[in-house]
Amino acid sequence: MKLSELKAANKKFRENDDSSLWPIRGRFSVAERTIKKARWHRSETGEDLDVSQYEALLDSIASEIVNNPRNW
């Protein structure tokens, strides 16, 4: 994936951040935590994902963060 595609996907994800909604209620940015974890995942695994795979990874990580009761 090209850097420009990665930046565009991250920007789109940040624009759609719903961290103000329940259960997070604005205590932190789900988008920022998600992107940070996705960066770590890519650096650790060395996977070269295409844009749709990267967006799916972001969605999966965000879901884990939001649904984790420790974050409520």
Q: What is the DSSP string of 21-50?
A: STTTTTSS-HHHHHHHHHHHHHHHH-----
pTM above 0.75, yes or no: yes
pLDDT in tens, the chain (72 residues): 999 999 999 999 999 999 999 999 999 999 999 999 999 999 999 989 999 999 999 999 999 999 999 987
3-class DSSP state for residue 20?
A: coil
Coil, helix or strand for 19?
coil
| Rounded CA separation 42/39 (Å) | 5
